[in-house]
């Protein structure tokens, strides 16, 4: 019995040594939450914004979800000079949707990118082509993904915010549209892996290597993008948005990541399986960070997001018999409380109005170990399929 208690105490001490530093790191980030900048709000355009923005939308077989994006962009006011759809030779009718939109709004134009070079990933290549063909008279380049649903006043509100706060680059976290039970349960757990690793949207990060970004709505000064060679520095990255944002921040430019739930919605993937496969393989962000940073993030996620769901309930089976064990159980109960509090905090970032089984959102913390496992799997695997393209070998940097 004494040997069992000694072994249990040693295990508890080992876990405490692992989890306590991780908890301190997590709390240091979460405590910055009250200082977050206000969410971006829709805004009316003003004369100084006239024709200041060129919008670029990369597409590849997006016919099933492109229409809301085109409709939302057509509702933007005169701050938008042009809306270029860079299509990678879609075979599903995507070009026809763009041509139909062009009949109603002459700001739309359709172009095809050239054959994908060996050193490029498809998305940054399309965005790079759109940038190169954009008007030099535009002050800003706005990258928008085909799965987004822009609200009226998005572009004016975003550019006005960038000017007021002095950003050279700013991207938005959207409001996610959920429809099916599995994704209501899994998707918030995957999103939480980002919230645990990085500052909340609206908190300006000083260290370039910790900058967060979202390419679904990515606004950058044209002069800055020209200085860094467009998207070339992120050409081989499967998380090109974060890679590019960190490269620009490292040059001394001001980069922001703000809450855009009031101006932008997104329907990313259909169901839990597609969410697991498509989103999960880029969430590790390994293309935008060093190996040391990546493994540090994995340690953090394992310590404060995955393990608490195993350790805290263990007290019901094996009641604490030592001080280290009691401290361990208390710490993990505390971490679970934090997790459910964060779930309340991110609830406005989800549109569950049409979701089947939307109540499963509130049980998403139970998916945390699975979400952390997905990040571990992704961190040790280079994608060979991405957005309809095949990458047979590791893309050279």
pLDDT digits (tens, 9 = 90+) for 259-312: 999 999 999 999 999 999 989 878 999 999 999 999 999 999 999 999 999 999
pLDDT at 205 (0 to 100): 84
**Confidence band for 389, pLDDT divided at 50, 70 and 90:** confident
pLDDT at 2 over 70: no
**Confidence band for 386, pLDDT divided at 50, 70 and 90:** low
Return the closest-CA partner of residue 93 out of 57, 69, 66, 122: 66
Return the closest-CA partner of residue 260 out of 219, 204, 217, 220: 217
pLDDT at 298 (0 to 100): 97
pLDDT at 5 over 70: no
201 or 164: which leads in pLDDT: 164
pLDDT at 381 over 90: no
Please spell the DSSP secondary structure of 30-73, one letter per residue: HTTGGGPPPPP------GGGTT-EEEEEEESS-TTTSHHHHHHH
pLDDT at 387 (0 to 100): 66
47-188+198-268 has which CATH code?
3.90.550.10
Domain ranges of the chain: 10-34+290-383, 47-188+198-268
CA distances from 55 to 10, 106, 123, 142, 144 (A): 58, 13, 15, 5, 7
Question: Cα(396)–Cα(385) distance, rounded to whole angstroms?
Answer: 16
The answer to which of 19-28, 134-143, 171-180, 313-322 has the lowest mean pLDDT is 313-322
**Confidence band for 331, pLDDT divided at 50, 70 and 90:** very high
pLDDT at 4 (0 to 100): 46
Q: 244 and 224 in contact (C-beta within 8 Å)?
A: no
Question: Cα(303)–Cα(20) distance, rounded to whole angstroms?
Answer: 9
In whole angstroms, how large is the CA radius of gyration of the chain? 22
Question: Cα(191)–Cα(212) distance, rounded to whole angstroms?
Answer: 13
pLDDT digits (tens, 9 = 90+) for 212-249: 999 999 999 999 999 999 999 999 999 999 999 999 99
């Amino acid at each position: 019995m004494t040997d069992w208690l000694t072994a249990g105490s040693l295990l508890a001490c080992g876990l405490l040594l692992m989890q306590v530093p991780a908890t301190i790191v997590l709390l240091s980030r979460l405590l910055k939450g009250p200082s977050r900048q206000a969410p971006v709000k829709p805004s009316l355009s003003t004369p100084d914004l006239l024709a200041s923005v060129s919008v670029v939308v990369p597409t590849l077989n997006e016919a099933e979800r492109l229409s809301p994006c085109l409709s939302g962009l057509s509702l933007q006011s005169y701050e938008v000079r042009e809306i270029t759809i860079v299509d990678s030779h879609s075979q599903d009718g995507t070009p026809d949707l763009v041509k139909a939109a062009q009949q109603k709004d002459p700001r739309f134009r359709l172009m095809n990118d050239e054959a994908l070079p060996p050193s490029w990933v498809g998305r940054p290549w399309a965005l790079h082509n759109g940038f190169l063909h954009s008007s030099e008279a535009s002050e800003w380049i706005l990258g928008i993904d085909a799965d987004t649903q822009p609200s009226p006043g998005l572009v004016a509100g975003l550019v006005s915010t960038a000017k007021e706060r002095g950003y050279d680059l700013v991207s938005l976290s959207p409001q996610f549209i959920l429809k099916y039970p599995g994704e209501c349960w899994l998707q918030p757990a995957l999103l939480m892996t980002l919230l645990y690793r990085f500052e909340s949207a609206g908190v300006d990060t000083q260290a370039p290597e910790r900058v967060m970004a979202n390419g679904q709505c990515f606004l950058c000064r044209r002069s800055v993008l020209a200085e860094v060679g467009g998207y070339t520095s992120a050409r081989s990255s499967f998380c090109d948005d974060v890679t590019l944002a960190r490269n620009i921040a490292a040059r001394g430019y001001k980069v922001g990541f703000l809450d855009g739930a009031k101006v932008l919605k997104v329907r990313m993937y259909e169901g839990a399986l597609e969410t697991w496969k498509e989103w999960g393989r880029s969430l590790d962000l390994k293309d935008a960070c060093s190996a040391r940073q990546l493994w540090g993030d994995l340690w953090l996620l394992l310590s404060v997001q995955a393990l608490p769901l195993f350790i805290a309930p263990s007290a019901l089976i094996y009641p604490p018999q030592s001080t280290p064990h009691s401290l361990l159980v208390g710490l993990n109960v505390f971490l679970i409380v934090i997790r459910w509090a964060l779930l309340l905090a991110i609830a406005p970032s989800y549109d569950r109005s049409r979701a089947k089984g939307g109540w499963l959102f509130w049980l998403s913390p139970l998916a945390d170990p699975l979400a952390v496992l997905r990040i571990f799997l992704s961190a040790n695997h280079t994608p060979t399929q991405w957005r309809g393209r095949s990458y047979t070998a590791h893309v050279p940097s």
